[in-house]
A and B are shown apart, each in its own frame.
Chain A
Amino acid sequence: MIDESAFWLLTIGLGIGTYLIRFSFLGLLGGRTLPDWALVHLKYVGVAIFPAMITPLVLWPAATDGQFDPARLIAAMAAFAIGMRFSVLGAIIAGMGSLYLLQALGL
């Protein structure tokens, strides 16, 4: 269960922080540009953080009390393959769809 005050502290902090990031160069920093080294690192923020989020969620899902579930691993790989070759929406459909299929098959 999520604590009410912790939630609002997080949400308001995230709202303000995210706004300041969005407003940074347009408003606060004027016409200044990012140094090249920062740009190179920021390019990899997404691919650096999401796999580390995904891995525990797939390998030790809370829904199975942290027990490894082969159906979820296979479904995650299906979503990845479709997302890489086709589209974002395709990945969501492939991931959820193959999980349901495997669960129906009793895996």
Chain B
Amino acid sequence: MQELSERSTCQIAKKRVVLDSYLGARRHGLCCGGGSNDPCLEQDRRLIQSVDVVHMKTRSAFWEGFIDCAPFIVIVIPYSMMFGVVARDAGLDVLQTMGMSVLVIAGASQFTALTLLSEGAPVFVALFTALVVNLRMAIYSAALVPHLGHARLGMRALVAYFMVDQAFAVAVKRYELPPPLGPAERMAYYFGAMLLICPFWYGGTLAGALLGQAIPASLSMDFAVPVCFIALVAPAMRSLPHVVAAVTSVIGILLFHSLPWSLGLIVAALLAMVAGAQTELYMRRRTAKRGLA
């Protein structure tokens, strides 16, 4: 339980700061005396209380993150189970299936890599495409720096391993809302959010992988892959640049699907990315011009 040690080192540091200022005050003769009304005893009591508050705050931030992420379990369980089932269906054994979910923890790229590999694409194409799918996480990484960049390198390395879409979205939303969280609380909140998601991701994959062979072919589990992708992409179709990118992507793959080594996918995706970005930039310029007129 790494986050516990992080929390306690942080508390020790805070305790030390409080203690130092207290001892400093004592040295300067700000509080001294004796008897039952000793102001120093009162200060001790307050000191203990303030350390308890820090402790309570990080603990409650952890559970706050945990609870805020809870609705996503409803998505993570079927999604991870589908990965397990589809992976077994494609011919992987349980160890391979679990190996992928534990080493990668990024569902969409796992489905992508698996689909391309079972279609006979070369490893480098499957790898490149799946990595492009995960490039969005560079944005997450950059967005977390102002909130979690204070942590030790080891902790940041752990933050990186567990960086999944849902936990990221929930955490950044919380960081920007009042009341503000302190550095230790932000870390606790992040781990609360992802400690809920990740065990369900592993467990769901395992359940799916074990159940996979028992699911009859008549259930058409192959169709789960495009359905999962549709479920991911459909909610984004709310702005014109996103629609332009999606339409370009479909047209691109229809034109280039016969390219060797599944390269048509990469060509279509690059064209669509540029189309979406250019549409956004065009719209920005137009709004700016209108603002000047």
Contact = CB atoms under 8 A, between A and B. Distances in A.
B56 to A, nearest CB: 28
Contact of B145 (A14, A26, A91): A26
A86 to B, nearest CB: 9
Given A7-B117, A11-B104, A41-B277, A47 B138 contact: no
B231 A43 contact: no
A27 interface: yes
Given A27-B156, A52-B268, A53-B265, A11 B249 contact: no
Contacts, number: 270
B131 A18 contact: yes
B269 interface: yes
B232 A79 contact: no
Interface residues of B, number: 98
A26 to B, nearest CB: 5
A40 B277 contact: yes
B253 A52 contact: yes
B94 interface: no
A33 B143 CA distance: 9
A24 to B, nearest CB: 5
Interface in B245-262: 245-250, 252-254, 257
Given A6-B117, A79-B231, A45 B131 contact: no
B233 A51 contact: yes
Nearest to B140: A22
The main secondary structure of chain B at its interface with chain A is helix
A96 B133 CA distance: 24
B273 A41 contact: yes
Contacts of A18: 104, 106, 109, 131, 134, 137
B230 A80 contact: yes
A11 B99 contact: yes
19 contacts: A2-B92, A6-B123, A11-B100, A14-B127, A18-B104, A22-B163, A27-B157, A27-B160, A31-B145, A40-B277, A42-B135, A44-B276, A47-B237, A47-B276, A50-B232, A51-B246, A54-B226, A62-B118, A92-B78
Interface of A: 1-2, 6-15, 17-19, 21-27, 31, 33-34, 37, 39-58, 61-63, 72, 75-76, 79-84, 87-89, 91-92, 95-96, 99-100, 103
Interface of B: 74-75, 78-79, 82, 90-92, 96, 99-100, 103-104, 106, 108-110, 112-115, 117-119, 123, 126-127, 129-142, 144-145, 148-149, 153, 156-157, 159-161, 163, 218-220, 222-238, 241-242, 245-250, 252-254, 257, 264-265, 268-277, 280-281
